[in-house]
Chains A and B, each alone.
Chain A
Amino acid sequence: MADVKQTLYDAAQYALDRAKALGADGAEVSVSTGNRTDELNVDAGEFSLMRTTFGSAVTVSVIAGQKYGGSATNKTDRGSIDKTVENAIEAAKASDADEAQQIAPDMGERESKQGSGATEPDLDAIYDRMSEFLADTKREYPKLDVMQFISRFRRSNKLYANSSGTRFFTERAWYSASAEFSARDGDEVSSMFGAGLNAADFNRPLLGYPFVRRAVEMMEPQLKTQPVQGKFTGTLLCSPDVAAELISSALSNAVGSASIIQKTSPWLGKVGEVVADPRLTLIADPDETRVLFPEKFTDDGFVNEREEVIGNGLLTGFKLGLYGSLKTGLPRAKNDGYFESLTLGTKTYGEMLAGIENGLLVYRFSGGSPAQNGDFSGVAKNSFLIKNGKIAGAVSETMISGNVFELLKNIVDIGSEPDLDGSSALPFISFGGVTVSGK
């Protein structure tokens, strides 16, 4: 590993030197090598493919005369780096001067090792866990069709370096699994659904993860679906994935750098104001221990710090990097991620369900991106009607519509039980005042 690290340092320094020699006032490079992925695939319920890929990457950004240009390659030899730096310089020369184009200051030398310490995959463990999942689901859920199922061991080494002196080295190794499945009974087939996770090891059966079992368990009831009749306004009980998707789309329109630079964000001028229910606090934390890879560094050369973009319902700031901050005169975000966890509520999933008189339990939302003003509509997939606190059957051809900014203010409950899939730690969330329409 020491050799790989030195290779990265040498390649990065070479690229920075070349950029300076070709006229760059500043430059930043990201170099990655020694990356390896070992992957097993199941298709239509049967093992089909095993892959091993070896990879590298070099990304170069230069600023020359306040003009920005970039280029990337997947090779680390000197000739390829030369060509990549030349491409970046050529792009910068063609661009316009913009005083917001700057390289981050020297943040020192940092190192982050995340995930498994393994350097080689345990292929037998991958194969055995996959075989076990296929056998377990066949035995316990005979109507389940596993369509595609992929497990991987991945190892990557990356160095971020800039002309100010910053050096961030990140080493990662981990296992992952993702499965897509449906239920089948004769010619009847359910909508498809999936589950996935990242883990430091494969010591645990996949059905031992509660959210994986929940995903598998709810497939058979979806063989019999009915469209919602007519239209009603009710409460959405959203799975952690769906809740995160809706909240993230609101944040993208309201705090993302493009919407701030274009001045299309509806939250401009609202820092410190109420934008959500006071129970909502969204957390991005580089030291989050429930997540395998909390981001330690930003893409533009800063060290991530803990940040709550919404704290107790109040907007704390915008997700601006160095460029966006200099462009708008607004503060730079302390963390370039939106959130991977939030302050948990007090109710279990069962208690949240029991409190809903009229609504929909939504496990997948298939919809277009919300409009700039937050209006959204889409299809509630893998979803169930809720009547008087109980599940009243699976639905099909049912649409939901509302406004993502209003959803944040109309939170009914935040769950107390987060799904721990290695990528985030988020619970079920219920939102009121959503239009549900069927046939």
Chain B
Amino acid sequence: MLTDKITAYKPKLSGHTELRFQRNMNRQVALIAGNVMANGFTEQSGVSARVYSGGYWGFSSAAEYDDASIASVLRAAERNAEFLTSRLGSPRPALPALPPRKLTSKITGYNDAEQKYLLDFAKEIDARIVEKYPKLTSRTISARSDCTDKYLVTSDGADVYSVKPRSGVIAVLTAEAADGSNVEVFDYLGGGAGFFGELFTKPDLLYAKLDEVYEHVMKKAEGVFASAGTAEVVMDSNLAGILAHEAIGHTVEADLVLGGSVAGPFLGKPVASEIVTLTDFAHTALGADLPQSVFVDDEGTVAKDAELIKDGVLVGYMHNRESAERFGHEPTGNARAYCFSDEPLIRMRNTAILPGKDKLADMIASVDDGYYLVQTGNGQADLTSEFMFGVTMGYEIKKGKLGRAIRDTTISGVAFDLLKTVTMLSDEMTWASGGMCGKKQQIAVGMGGPSVKCRVNIGGK
């Protein structure tokens, strides 16, 4: 048993050493216009060691699990830390040891559906599209599942085993617009934390959402271009999640604060409207399990919620053990690694703006001339908190009523300025966990929020 082998190494670890075994599995199917264009399963696994000495980290990894390989990565990690201390000295003391902690996740093994299940599921949805929506010019259906399975032991007593499955089904529907060009709408038909076979039992449970995506794309085909400039908007919860993650979240990751984020001088100061509270949750929130639950992170720290903005005031950062020590804060358990060959970095887990008290219908009714932004394709931001989100589905709001759909556009702004313009938050929220965040390594993240009424720059003609 691999677990027995790993446990045997636990008492042999000295100094500040982490030893991690990890397996990433990924199963994917994609049908483009009915053609099977992706159909496969990928598995990557291996062992890594990380050593902290004198203020520097040494890391090494290898694909093999045998004793020689484990000994080799431990030696290489030590040697790498020594390379840096031999040139730079040892300016920092050891990180404080944590109390011993042991944790095994509720899910204890990989138990996903086979390739045929995903393929048949996708084919049934594709057949439904062909039968029910003949006006479409093309369609893509993608079904995927991934699972991370890891075991971490550390020299200061962490002994942690976790299994994290995630699955999703995506539809991209394409229709011809009046000008002869093609427009498309992309959306998740369903998904979240869990094995594919557990989350997706029958394709017809997704048909209501599929109808909704079809309705959007047909309205978009008759859509108009947004008018470039600053506008009052209601962002659907899909966009609130990416605002929380991309535009604010990255600026308050402690390593990026050390790197010069604009949020550095704002700690303890008002940065948003008083109705805005934003938290990076570890595993549960508002009574529900979250899509990217982290109970103990990849440094062996017991994870806790990182409260970032409370009632409009910036109150904290997300930390790993080293950044917490430098700031004199408590570690929050945000150190995460994507693959066995990756070192843990400060990463978000489940980042969300908390819901308010308003009804979405009242929010739309309160806008005289603006936009209701429904779906985003991608988002980017930098350490000034200036952000950009692609908007792939939205509607005009005219005198409090939804109007024509708009074609693809982009919104932008400075997030810490935008948050001060927030006047209404809806009383419901949704979570999404289909995407990956890129920061040296990619990693699965959860993000969520309510609908948000604010002012933003919008691209157009």
Residue A367 lies at the interface, judged by CB distance under 8 Å to chain B: yes
Give chain B residues whose Cβ lies under 8 Å from the Cβ of A98: 35-36
Give chain A residues whose Cβ lies under 8 Å from the Cβ of B230: 439
| Separation of A397 and B386 alpha carbons in the complex (Å) | 8
> For chain A residues 33-81, which have a beta carbon within 8 Å of chain B?
43-44, 47-56, 68-75
Residue A247 lies at the interface, judged by CB distance under 8 Å to chain B: no
Task: Name the contact of A51 in the complex, choosing from B80, B123, B265 (C-beta under 8 A).
Answer: B80
Residue A327 lies at the interface, judged by CB distance under 8 Å to chain B: yes
Residue-wise interface mask of B (126-162) relative to A, using a CB-CB cutoff of 8 A (1 in contact, 0 not): 0000000000011010000000000000000000000
Pairwise interchain contact A258-B32, C-beta atoms closer than 8 A? yes
Q: A68-B36, A191-B382, A371-B408 are in contact. Are A73 and B261 (CB under 8 A)?
A: no
B13-21, B51-59, B290-298, B304-312 - the one binding chain A:
B51-59
Residue of B nearest to A367 (CB): B410
Residue A140 lies at the interface, judged by CB distance under 8 Å to chain B: no
Give chain B residues whose Cβ lies under 8 Å from the Cβ of A369: 377-378, 390
| Separation of A145 and B384 alpha carbons in the complex (Å) | 13
Task: Name the contact of B259 in the complex, choosing from A87, A148, A261 (C-beta under 8 A).
Answer: A148
Q: A44-B255, A95-B36 are in contact. Are A87 and B41 (CB under 8 A)?
A: yes
| Separation of A10 and B59 alpha carbons in the complex (Å) | 31
| Shortest CB distance A120–B (Å) | 14
Give chain B residues whose Cβ lies under 8 Å from the Cβ of A187: 264-265
Residue of B nearest to A94 (CB): B116
| Shortest CB distance A56–B (Å) | 5
Residue A372 lies at the interface, judged by CB distance under 8 Å to chain B: yes
Give chain B residues whose Cβ lies under 8 Å from the Cβ of A109: none
Residue-wise interface mask of B (26-61) relative to A, using a CB-CB cutoff of 8 A (1 in contact, 0 not): 000000110111111111111000000000111111
Pairwise interchain contact A72-B39, C-beta atoms closer than 8 A? no
B177-185, B272-280, B327-335 - the one binding chain A:
B177-185
Residue A290 lies at the interface, judged by CB distance under 8 Å to chain B: no
Pairwise interchain contact A263-B260, C-beta atoms closer than 8 A? no
Residue A329 lies at the interface, judged by CB distance under 8 Å to chain B: no
| Separation of A82 and B38 alpha carbons in the complex (Å) | 21
Most central of A68, A73, A94, A369 by chain B CB within 10 Å: A94
Pairwise interchain contact B228-A51, C-beta atoms closer than 8 A? no
| Separation of A75 and B43 alpha carbons in the complex (Å) | 9
| Shortest CB distance A188–B (Å) | 9
Pairwise interchain contact B61-A192, C-beta atoms closer than 8 A? no
Query: Which bucket holds chain B's interface residue count?
Result: 35 or more
Pairwise interchain contact A189-B63, C-beta atoms closer than 8 A? no
| Shortest CB distance A197–B (Å) | 18
Give chain B residues whose Cβ lies under 8 Å from the Cβ of A182: 260, 383
Give chain A residues whose Cβ lies under 8 Å from the Cβ of B407: 371, 375
Pairwise interchain contact A373-B182, C-beta atoms closer than 8 A? yes
| Separation of A264 and B336 alpha carbons in the complex (Å) | 40
| Shortest CB distance B206–A (Å) | 20
Task: Name the contact of A401 in the complex, choosing from B57, B116, B120, B461 (C-beta under 8 A).
Answer: B461
Pairwise interchain contact A145-B39, C-beta atoms closer than 8 A? no
| Separation of A91 and B298 alpha carbons in the complex (Å) | 33
| Separation of A264 and B46 alpha carbons in the complex (Å) | 42
Give chain B residues whose Cβ lies under 8 Å from the Cβ of A55: 62-63, 341
Task: Name the contact of B258 in the complex, choosing from A44, A90, A263 (C-beta under 8 A).
Answer: A44
Residues of A within 8 A of B (CB): 43-44, 47-56, 68-75, 84, 87-88, 90-96, 98, 123, 127, 145, 147-148, 150, 182, 184, 187, 189-192, 231, 258, 261-264, 266, 327, 366-373, 375, 377-379, 381, 396-397, 399, 401, 435, 437, 439
Interface pairs (19), CB distance under 8 Å: A43-B258, A43-B259, A50-B81, A53-B59, A54-B61, A91-B115, A98-B36, A127-B83, A189-B383, A262-B137, A264-B174, A366-B380, A369-B378, A372-B182, A373-B179, A377-B410, A379-B386, A397-B412, A399-B412
